[in-house]
Amino acid sequence: MSVDLEAFREKIFKYALVNAVKYNGKAKVEPVASKFLGEHRELRSRAREVIALVEKIVEEVNSLTLVDQKRILEERFPELLVEEKPREREFKLPPLPNADKYSTIITRYAPNPDFVLHFGQARAIYLSHDYARMYRGVFILRFEDTDPRIKKPRIDFYDAIREDLIWLGCRWDREYIQSRRLEIYYDIARKLIEIGGAYVCVCEPDKFRSFIRSSKPCPCRDLAVEDHMERLDRMLEGVYKEGETVLRVKTDLSHPNPSVRDWVALRIINTKLHRHPIVGDKYNVWPTYNFAAGIDDHLMGVTHIIRGKEFLVGVEKQLYMYRWLGWGYPECIHYGKWLMIGSGTMSKSKMLRDLQLGLYKSWDDPRLPTLAALRRRGIQPEAIHRMVLELGVKMSEVRFSWENLYAHNRRIIDPIARRFFYVEDPIKLKVRSIPLNEVIAKIPFHPDKEDMGYRETRIKVKDGEIELYISRRDYDILALDRVVRLIGLFNVKPVSLSGDSVEAVWHSRAYEEAAKLKARLIHWVPVEDIVPIRVVMPDASESIGYGENLCRTIALGEVIQFERFGFARFDSKLPDGTMIFYYTHD
Ligand SMILES: [Zn+2]
């Protein structure tokens, strides 16, 4: 049973009224119909009936005076008079725990510059940043670069990370680099030894493990404070080699998790072999993640730490150090993992390995979930932001899909992206018997926004003929003698399909004619006025074709929509004029 269109009368009336008030009392059929059909895609097959109804209602509305139109709008649809606000504050963060205990809320984001940031990390960044802003506090950026051997930092990643944060809109108030703070960690190490909270262990790792597994102290643990001070000095002087000695923080030897028992705080890394990108081979003694981060959170006055719950074991280790030193541990929010639905990885080490293997050309390859790749593809930072806020700070694991991110992004770019014609894998179409000297197509840059203007294409007709390109995909749906509409132009009837070209004859001009015949609508570009285009797809394959000449007006970095193809971002231009786009989503 088909829907009775009369049921939509009220809604169409509302749209007609808004349109009339906007245009000085005179509503137009086309924008009202296209707005309605945009919301009711299921009725597109009945466009003719819809348009007929819209015509009737528009006439009715236009017979009212502007004053009456405004009054009815105010009385019946007051919600439409409220200015449309951006939806960004749709999702609100819950208050921070114990926020009133602190005069200034201080949060931090602490990446290791061993790779660029990826999508999964945006969560900790936005939450830490937003909470600092919500409480007019301080947001710290801290580079945790104290492992020049395994999680080796790279000099270009420091700047790449800064660039990522700026792109996300998360400006930081203070910045620290841990590799410049090693003396601070050495001082805390001395203090811990002094108060009996740490010791320098020279046991072979296997031997130490056998003691610790049976909850027994190793022979080093109970030596005098002076002995450990001396060992630490020798460690710092470079007497020991890599792996020969470590500083351990004393814990409960019967802690249920053996990895927590007397955990390693300082270790030796041979920086002659593993040079650090910032301090070179100046230091050979390096703090572990938990030692440096734990000290910094305290010294930098961090009040709230927001991070994934995989850091919970680290908290247990750090708590021993905090107790020895009489420090209070910051408030923590640990959230659950993002589970990725579908293909791809969020593993930094896997991405880095694949990059080194040459599977990707660069870290902004469209197949990677790095922020640089998303940026290149035209994903807007606000889309990522909305998604982070939507998923919130729940402890439970949340499922996340690319479609979800795309939906957020589509809502942002769809109302502002200009539309263009692009024919992929072009096929030549010759149209004969055109009863005109010239044809003109006038198509809006945006179907719902007349104020964005129109693009006009004029094609000279020679001996009743013009030549166009259409896409292979559209070619495949053509059938002999079945009329199709060339969007914005006229209707044609194919008379010969050769496999790599088409001949058609003029049928009629009006859109209504095409609607009556249920003609398919297809895209085209004039043969003599084209722009060569390549679109890099999310799987790194390339779509190749021609764009209409007005594609030349697209600005570098602009996100546009190739109609019936998808959104794309203009990335670069080849010397021969070919425009390179990156596909965003459909
Ligand atoms: Zn030992």
Give residue 524's pLDDT band: very low, low, confident or very high (50, 70, 90). very high
Centre of ligand 1 to C-alpha 217, Å, is: 8
Mean pLDDT of 327-354: 81
Residue 71 has pLDDT above 90, yes or no: no
pLDDT at 342: 62
Which three-class secondary structure string do you get for 18-35?
HHHHHCCCCCCHHHHHHH
pLDDT at 81: 62
Centre of ligand 1 to C-alpha 266, Å, is: 14
Average pLDDT, the chain: 92
Q: Which residues contact 483 (CB under 8 A, 6 or more apart)?
A: 491, 492, 493, 507, 508, 514, 517, 519
Contact 423/546 with Cβ under 8 angstroms? Answer: yes
Quick: pLDDT tens for 536-563: 999 999 999 999 999 999 999 999 999 9
Centre of ligand 1 to C-alpha 248, Å, is: 9
Centre of ligand 1 to C-alpha 197, Å, is: 14
Centre of ligand 1 to C-alpha 250, Å, is: 12
Centre of ligand 1 to C-alpha 190, Å, is: 17
The better pLDDT of the pair 89, 306 is held by 306
pLDDT at 164: 97
Centre of ligand 1 to C-alpha 255, Å, is: 18
E-state strands within 343-465: 398-401, 419-420, 422-424, 426-432, 438-444, 454-460
pLDDT at 72: 85
pLDDT at 86: 44
d(CA 263, CA 254): 13
Quick: pLDDT tens for 471-519: 999 999 899 999 999 999 999 999 999 888 999 999 999 999 998 998 9
Give residue 352's pLDDT band: very low, low, confident or very high (50, 70, 90). confident
What phi-psi label fits residue 367: left (phi over 0), alpha (psi between -120 and 50 degrees) or beta? Answer: alpha
Contact 384/405 with Cβ under 8 angstroms? Answer: yes
- Residue 439's CB is within 10 A of a number of other CB atoms, namely 20
Centre of ligand 1 to C-alpha 328, Å, is: 29
Centre of ligand 1 to C-alpha 280, Å, is: 29
Residue 468 has pLDDT above 80, yes or no: yes
Mean pLDDT of 87-115: 88
Residue 566 has pLDDT above 90, yes or no: yes
d(CA 441, CA 561): 18
Give residue 83's pLDDT band: very low, low, confident or very high (50, 70, 90). very low
pLDDT at 415: 94
Question: Which pTM does this prediction carry?
Answer: 0.81
pLDDT at 85: 44
Centre of ligand 1 to C-alpha 227, Å, is: 13
pLDDT at 1: 45
Mean pLDDT of 388-417: 86
Contact 399/149 with Cβ under 8 angstroms? Answer: no
Centre of ligand 1 to C-alpha 388, Å, is: 45
Mean pLDDT of 393-419: 87
Mean pLDDT of 242-264: 96
Centre of ligand 1 to C-alpha 183, Å, is: 24
Centre of ligand 1 to C-alpha 203, Å, is: 4
Q: Which residues contact 70 (CB under 8 A, 6 or more apart)?
A: 21
Centre of ligand 1 to C-alpha 303, Å, is: 35
Centre of ligand 1 to C-alpha 202, Å, is: 5
Give residue 87's pLDDT band: very low, low, confident or very high (50, 70, 90). very low
Centre of ligand 1 to C-alpha 112, Å, is: 30
